[in-house]
Amino acid sequence: AESFNAAVEAGRPLNAYTVETPEDALACAEAADAARQSGDLKPLSGIPLGIKDLFATEGVDSTSGSNILRGFKPPYESTVSANLRRAGAGMLGKLNMDEFAMGSSNETSAYGPVISPWKRNDGGNAALTPGGSSGGSAAAVAAGMAPGVTGTDTGGSIRQPAAFTGITGIKPTYGRCSRWGIVAFASSLDQAGPMARDVRDCAILLEQMAGFDHRDATSLELPVPQWEAGLSSDLKGKRIGIPKEYRIDGVPDEINALWDRGIEWLKDAGAEPVEISLPHTRYALPTYYIIAPAEASSNLARYDGVRYGLREEPQGGNLDAMYAATRAAGFGAEVKRRIMIGTYVLSAGFYDAYFTKAQRVRALIKRDFREAFAQCDLILTPTAPSAAFGLKEKMSDPLAMYLNDVFAVPASLAGLPAMSVPGGLDSQGLPLGLHLIGNELDEQGVLNAGLAIE
Ligand code: GLN
Interface predicted TM-score of the whole assembly (ipTM), two decimals: 0.97
Burial of 298 (0-12, 13-18, 19+ CB in 10 A): middle
Q: Which one is catalytic: 64, 105, 109, 133?
A: 133
Exposure pattern of 404-436 as b/e (b: 16+ CB <10 Å)? bbbbbbbbbbbbbbbbbbbbebbeeebbbbbbb
CA distance 38 to 145: 29
- Out of 66, 105, 109, 157, pick the active-site residue: 157
- What pLDDT tens digit does each residue of the chain (454 aa) get? 677 888 888 888 999 999 999 999 999 999 999 999 999 999 999 999 999 999 999 999 999 999 999 999 999 999 999 999 999 999 999 999 999 999 999 999 999 999 999 999 999 889 999 999 999 999 999 999 999 999 999 999 999 999 999 999 999 999 999 999 999 999 999 999 999 999 999 999 999 999 999 999 999 999 999 999 999 999 999 999 999 999 988 899 999 999 999 999 999 999 999 999 999 999 999 999 999 999 999 999 999 999 888 999 999 989 999 999 999 999 999 999 999 999 999 999 999 999 999 999 999 999 999 999 999 999 999 999 999 999 999 999 998 899 999 999 999 999 999 999 999 999 999 999 999 999 999 999 999 999 999 9
* CA 27–ligand 1 middle distance (angstroms): 34
Indicate whether residue 161 lines ligand 1 (CB < 6 A): no
Domains identified in the chain and CATH numbers: 2-232 (3.90.1300.10)
Query: Helix or strand or coil: residue 332?
Result: coil
Q: Which residues touch 151 (CB under 8 Å, ≥6 apart)? A: 52, 134, 137, 138, 157, 158, 161, 162, 169, 192, 193, 194, 195
pLDDT reported for residue 10: 80
**How much is the pTM?**
0.97
Q: Are 162 and 189 in contact (CB under 8 A)?
A: no
* CB of 101 shorter than 6 A to ligand 1: yes
Task: Indicate the SS3 state at residue 152.
Answer: strand
Please confirm, yes or no, whether 133 is among the known catalytic residues: yes
Is 426 within 8 Å of 254 (Cβ atoms)? yes
38 is catalytic: no
* Residues 105, 94: Cα–Cα separation, whole Å: 18
Cβ-contact 105, 135 below 8 angstroms: yes
Distance from Cα 301 to the centre of ligand 1, integer Å: 19
Please state, as a whole number, how many other Cβ atoms lie within 10 Å of the Cβ of residue 262.
27
Residue 357 is predicted with a pLDDT of 98
Q: Which residues pair with 378 in a beta bridge?
A: 240, 438
